[in-house]
Amino acid sequence: MASLGRNALLDVKAIEDADIVELRLDLVEGNPLEILKVVRRATSLPIIATNRPSSEGGQFQGSEQERILVLQNASDYADYVDIELRTESRDDLLDSIDKPAIVSHHDFFRTPPREELRSILKEISGTRAEIAKIAVTPSRLKDNLLILDFLLEAEMSLCMIAMGKLGKHLRALSPIYGSVLTYGYISQPTAPGQMSVSELSQAINLLI
């Protein structure tokens, strides 16, 4: 997957190694919906609309109500909408869109223990999510083993991301263990430890 940020209109021309596009509406410069429309016209690849708040590592500057409204409007042009598990009025937002939802949770400080991960996934599975996304931060290499094992036991479609330097290699390994999505960037990372789409594609091709 290619994750597009500030240079979305330029980057959309260089996504040949991706099979899906995430547009980070909180990072683009200009009207996010107008940029989404341009990206929609420029590619036939599926698009994920994401609008991260600062609490989840994003840069959206408006109110929570404004952020939610952007996501609602974005659902008219995107194929998937990423909604954070802790979003205010999350279930109302899920009910208001008619596109498949990715319900996500991010921990930028640690890798929670297995039982906590199970609790997070159970909570996501109780929503209208088609895909669960859990992004965590390994503080030791052993955390990566927990992440891979957790992928193997998941009973719903799960994207598992290991952020930061210690988890960087898992962006290529996690699809082998069942992660339904993995993220790379075009011109600059949109999350800690991301590889470029071309690096990620090459690494995955070497492994499978």
pLDDT single digits (tens) 53-106:
999 999 999 999 999 999 999 999 999 999 999 998 999 999 999 999 999 999
Whether the predicted pLDDT of 9 surpasses 60: no
169 given a catalytic annotation = no
Q: Which residue is catalytic, options 37, 106, 165, 169? A: 106
The region that residue 40 occupies, defined by phi over 0 for left and psi between -120 and 50 for alpha, beta otherwise, is: alpha
pTM given for the model: 0.92
Confidence of residue 18 (pLDDT cuts 50, 70, 90): confident
CA–CA dist 83, 103 (Å, integer):
5
What is residue 13's predicted lDDT score, i.e. its pLDDT? Answer: 57
Confidence of residue 14 (pLDDT cuts 50, 70, 90): low
CA–CA dist 13, 42 (Å, integer):
8
**H-type helices in the chain, by residue range?**
8-11, 32-42, 64-74, 90-96, 114-125, 141-153, 170-173, 197-207
- Residue whose entry in the numeric block shows the structure tokens 């965590």: 136
Residue 43 half-sphere exposure toward CB, CA atoms < 13 A = 28
pLDDT single digits (tens) 172-190:
999 999 999 999 988 788 8
Distances in whole angstroms, Cα of residue 82 to Cα of each of 46, 72, 94, 131, 194: 13, 11, 10, 9, 18
Listed residue (180, 185, 179, 178) closest to 200, CA to CA:
185
Listed residue (166, 203, 155) closest to 182, CA to CA:
203
Contact (CB, 8 A) for 113 and 122: no
Q: What does the block give as tokens for 26? A: 């909180």
What is residue 2's predicted lDDT score, i.e. its pLDDT? Answer: 67
Whether the predicted pLDDT of 4 surpasses 70: no
First to last CA, the chain: 17
Domain 2-207 part of CATH 3.40.50.1010: no
CA–CA dist 90, 40 (Å, integer):
25
The region that residue 140 occupies, defined by phi over 0 for left and psi between -120 and 50 for alpha, beta otherwise, is: beta
What is residue 52's predicted lDDT score, i.e. its pLDDT? Answer: 97
Q: Which residue is catalytic, options 37, 99, 133, 165? A: 133
Domain ranges of the chain: 2-207
106 given a catalytic annotation = yes
Residue 175: count other Cβ atoms within 10 Å of its Cβ: 19
CA–CA dist 142, 121 (Å, integer):
21
pLDDT single digits (tens) 135-173:
999 999 999 999 999 999 999 999 999 999 999 999 999
